Amino acid sequence: MNPFRLDGTVAVVTGGGKGIGRGIALCLAEAGADVVVCARTKKDVDEVANAVRALGRKAKGVVADVTNEDQVRLVAEEAKELGDIGIWVNNAGGLPDATPRYLTRTPLDRWDAQLDLNLRAVFIGCQVAAQVMGENGGAIINISSRAAKGSSLKNGPYAASKAAVNSLTETFALELAPRIRVNAVAPGPIPTENFNQSTNFPKDKPIEQIIGVPLRRLGTPEDIGNAVVFMASPASSWVTGQCLYVTGGM
């Protein structure tokens, strides 16, 4: 049997309405999973659910805000209607306010907004996933960032939250072994809506040169989706508590 296949598994993807989450949802479906897509915009989740169905898999689009624990629990309830949940991807995240700021000038409410979306919501997602995954267990994948590696000028709250996601991933992995594997995938630059809003590079030079990607191109949602398929599948059955950097070598 192909160890990268996910046939018969139900996957939840938060923030699956566009960008990287959309790519993850479609890669999981290509690998055979049925997919529950959660995001805040109905039009987006419906579009991705239809794209999953077009690949021959079952799908549901659920509108929810991942910073709200009750709403995340409802996502899990909706997902259980498709079968036992075996994969949970905490992808929703980004920069709720894209204004670059030094930490010394970051108002507390902006700090809180970043940490709520990028860290607290991942904590909620891991807790709920651990509670709803049955005896057969499964795989939780948290979407981190290259920014987790260290300092990130004018992007401090985001970098701190993603570094904490890696820490959370390691601790949940220990707590939940051997029933559930918990890993992270950390993307490098991928020109999604959120990325384009939060970067302001001069248009006369290729962006991958400006930010120095050794593999000489920006990433795609599918680059991340394929890494998630690996982390979700039996191909990674002896991997837990790890963060896989998918960054073009950055």
- The yes-or-no answer on residue 158 being catalytic is yes
Residue with tokens 């992270």, as numbered in its chain: 184
- The catalytic position among 48, 72, 148, 158 is 158
65 binding ligand NAD? (CB under 6 A): yes
Q: What is the largest CA-CA distance in the chain?
A: 55
From 35-43, 51-59, 127-135, 208-216, span contacting ligand NAD (CB under 6 A): 35-43
What is the C-alpha separation between 121 and 111, in angstroms, rounded? 14
Measured torsion, CA atoms of residues 128, 131, 137, 140, in degrees rounded to the nearest 10: 20
Q: Which residues contact 218 (CB under 8 A, 6 or more apart)?
A: 188, 189, 190, 191, 207, 208, 248
25 binding ligand NAD? (CB under 6 A): no
Out of 86, 93, 138, 156, which residue is the one contacting ligand NAD (CB under 6 A)?
A: 93
DSSP state of 155: B
From 87-95, 102-110, 174-182, 207-215, span contacting ligand NAD (CB under 6 A): 87-95
Site for ligand NAD in 189-248 (CB under 6 A): 189-190, 192-195
Q: For binding to ligand NAD (CB under 6 A), which residues are involved?
A: 14-15, 17-21, 39-41, 44, 65-67, 91-94, 117, 143, 145, 187, 189-190, 192-195
Residues known to be catalytic? 158
